[in-house]
Amino acid sequence: MAETKVKHPSVEERRAKGKGCREQTPVSSHTGWTPAADRPDPVALLEEQNLTREQDLVPVRHGRMLVSPFTFYRGAAKIMAADLKDTPRAGLVSQLCGDAHLSNFGVFASPERTLLFDLNDFDETLPGPFEYDVKRMAASFTIAARNNAFTAEETRDVTVAAVRAYREAMSEFAQMGTLDIWYARLSEEQLLETLSLAVSSQKGKALKKAAAGMEKSARQNVAKAHTRDSLQALSKLAERVDGKYRIVSQPPMVVPARELGKSYGMSGNEVQRAIRSQLRSYRATLPDDRRILLERFEVIDVARKVVGVGSVGTRAFIALLQGRDEQDPLFLQVKEATRSVLEDHLPKSRYKQPGERVVQGQRMMQAASDIFLGWTKGEQDNRYLYWRQLRDMKGSALVETMKPLGMTLYAHVCGWTLARAHARSGDPIAFAAYLGKSDKFDRSITDFSERYADQNEQDYQAFADAVRTGRLEATDAI
């Protein structure tokens, strides 16, 4: 087999590439976005997605999206992917999250048991134009700020903060060594230190009080994340029956395998056996040390569990495993992986198995990943899965309650984090040269975000009308 020659251009050549991209696609070209004349019906795109989803859960998904334009946006990655295909591209590629909205960032435990802040959803990950992630993130801040009733100026400031943080962080990464970029991460200590500095820098009693309240809330959320582990999940999701633990039935959110027979044309025991078979295949995708560790646990029970907003309706399960005894549980989450919505418009993934696409993309972008991250094929044709821990000190920001100061600080953190994720697989030197030192890129992407937020509100209204007229079915958000 012929070896692929890896090119190693000089720093000067990499910088020149970024500047050349800037001449070809000026940063100002992202301004003035308008929807394409042949833009597809957004409701039709959602209906297309629903065809392969669990039909009894599709109304649940619609109900969650119906809450507000913000929750609609969270479930509308496919719609935005169709819009992004017609937007300017500089020609600089990195591994994309594919759905980098602000609620897909959060904290979780590293293998060393350090709490990290990072991207945490990679269902749509794929290599592609870096602008796609930046626009998805920036627009999410505009939409979230509007949802929280910020003024137009506050909304603009929040969005600019996110993009500026991305640009300035990329400039920093362009000056760093290759391994330094790879090891860069945002730890719990660094996150809380950033908040403390923000509090001390505020002027005026009202702002200091608001900042102090924000810091207190953040510290409480971080402390809560430390308690979210498999033992805590056992107390919430399981019950003892005849001296043994089993997952509690809470339909439609949690439906144990023993009650799933009709949904899959299989008995409860057959569903259990299928998951155990999947477990053996999944273990083979883990490094040997992780595989041996996982083999010390046995499967006790399995259930379907509804997750997220955009993911609702895709197959998702939880598996309760037991180690040395009943007080040594491990909860794994098993999620269906489908084609990335970006694959409708970008080159297909090099990985034939969508579950592997998700896992490899996550490992590429995150500073550290779950030790039990792996993949397998489903029992049925064209069904693919990836596995990870259900709770491993995971926590997320309460976006809907954020005030302008808090969301601005959160925007800084998210912008830095996305830049670090892109710098791992892309070329930070070329990226930084393209982005430049002025705020032109920040203002251009903010203009796009405002226009896209307007379009999102129109799409939300069309979606709400489809529910009202009976074209789509929706249940109350649960």
DSSP state letter for 111: T
Burial class (CB in 10 A: 0-12, 13-18, 19+), 103: buried
To which residue do tokens 């939300």 refer?
460
pLDDT score of 410:
92
Please name the residue ranges forming H helices in 175-204: 178-183, 188-201
To which residue do tokens 């907003």 refer?
309
pLDDT score of 477:
65
Mean pLDDT by 10 residues, the chain (478 residues): 78 98 97 96 96 90 96 97 97 98 94 92 97 98 98 98 98 98 93 80 73 78 87 92 93 87 65 79 94 95 84 86 94 94 96 96 96 89 90 88 92 96 98 98 98 98 98 86
C-alpha closest to that of 320 among 224, 395, 226, 231: 231
DSSP state letter for 38: T
Counting Cα atoms < 13 Å in the Cβ hemisphere of 403 gives: 12
What's the rounded Cα separation, in Å, for the pair 72 and 64? 8
What's the rounded Cα separation, in Å, for the pair 151 and 155? 6
> What sign does the dihedral 398-82-164-97 (CA atoms) show?
positive
pLDDT score of 278:
85
CA dist list (Å): 2 to 9, 139, 464: 22, 44, 55
C-alpha closest to that of 435 among 142, 99, 15: 15
pLDDT score of 314:
84
Provide the whole-model pTM.
0.94
pLDDT score of 1:
46
To which residue do tokens 């418009």 refer?
345
pLDDT score of 3:
64
Question: Domain coordinates of the chain in residue numbers?
Answer: 11-226+401-468, 230-389
Q: Extract the tokens encoding 36.
A: 């394409």
Q: Return the HEC string of 280-327.
A: HHHHCCCCHHHHHHHCCCEEEEEEEECCCCCCECECEEEEEEECCCCC
What's the rounded Cα separation, in Å, for the pair 30 and 414? 21
Name the residue type at position 369: S
Q: Extract the tokens encoding 333.
A: 């989450």
